[in-house]
Amino acid sequence: MSNQTIVTEFLLLGFSDIRELQILHFVIFLAAYLAALMGNLLIITLVTLNYELHSPMFFFLINLSIVDLGSISVTVPKSMSNSLLNTRSISFSGCVVQVFCLFCFLGANVSLLTLMAYDRYVAICKPLHYGIIMNRRACVQMAACAWVVGAINSAMHTGNTFSLPFCHSNIINQFFCEIPQLLKLSCSGTYRRELAALAFSVCLGLGCFVFIIVSYVQIFTAVWRIPLEQGHQKAFSTCIPHLIVVSLFLSTAIMAYLKSISDSLSPLDLLVAVLYCMVPPLMNPVIYSMRNKEIQAALRKLLQRQILSKNNMSIFLS
pTM for the structure as a whole: 0.85
Q: Is residue 315 part of a domain?
A: no
What digits encode the pLDDT tens for the residues 54-101? 888 889 989 999 999 999 999 999 999 988 888 888 999 999 999 999
Q: Is residue 97 part of a domain?
A: yes
Q: Is residue 164 part of a domain?
A: yes
For every residue of 100-165, which 3-state class applies, written as one string?
HHHHHHHHHHHHHHHHHHHHHHHHHHCHHHHHHHCCHHHHHHHHHHHHHHHHHHHHHHHHHHHCCC
Beta strands in 157-285 (DSSP E): 171-172
Give dist(CA 42, CA 289) in Å, integer. 10
Q: Is residue 298 part of a domain?
A: yes
Average pLDDT on 190-204 reads 71
Domain harbouring 38, CATH code? 1.20.1070.10
Q: Is residue 4 part of a domain?
A: no
Give dist(CA 107, CA 100) in Å, integer. 11
Query: 88 in helix, strand or coil?
Result: coil
Average pLDDT on 214-219 reads 86
The domain total for the chain is: 1
What digits encode the pLDDT tens for the residues 246-305? 777 777 777 766 665 555 556 777 788 888 888 888 888 887 766 667 777 777 777 777
pLDDT of residue 245: 73
What digits encode the pLDDT tens for the residues 235-247? 666 677 777 777 7
Structural domain for 83, as ranges: 9-310
Q: Is residue 3 part of a domain?
A: no
Q: Is residue 317 part of a domain?
A: no
| The pLDDT of residue 230 is above 70 | no
Q: Is residue 2 part of a domain?
A: no
